[in-house]
Amino acid sequence: KEILAADVFSESPETEPANEKLSGALSIDLDPESGKSFQELKQDAERQIVQQHLEENEWHITNTAKALGIANHSNLIKIMKRLGIKKPKDE
């Protein structure tokens, strides 16, 4: 099963910038057999949303924070640390 991005965000002024840029569907495993808790599923969705926006903004933290409606780029950095998101090394 997949959750569409439209199902994750409700329409409001706070989420409008994120809604405009979020394309495609989130691929979150909702199989009850996975044994994941609600918190783990929520974290998976958050990780995918942040990762997608970082890639769309070429890992520019300030632009990504703005696109996600996060007031301060330092808050995005904290979220990234909590979710274990690191910029891939350029090859």
User: What pLDDT is attached to residue 19?
Assistant: 46
User: Would you state the pLDDT for residue 26?
Assistant: 65
How close are the terminal C-alpha atoms of the chain, in Å?
Answer: 34
pTM of the model: 0.67
- If you average pLDDT over residues 33-60, what whole number do you get? 92
Q: Range with the lowest mean pLDDT among 5-19, 33-47, 68-82?
A: 5-19
- Bridge partners (DSSP) of residue 4 are 25
In this structure, are residues 45 and 8 in contact, taking their beta carbons and an 8 Å threshold? yes
CA distances (Å), origin 5, targets 48, 64, 91:
10, 17, 31
Q: What is the pLDDT of residue 24?
A: 57
pLDDT at site 67: 96
pLDDT at 34: 78
Token pair, residue 76, equals 């995005």
Query: Among candidates 87, 9, 11, 83, which has minimal Cα distance to 46?
Result: 83
Q: In the chain, what percentage of residues exceed pLDDT 90?
A: 53
How many CB atoms neighbour CB 64 within 10 A? 23
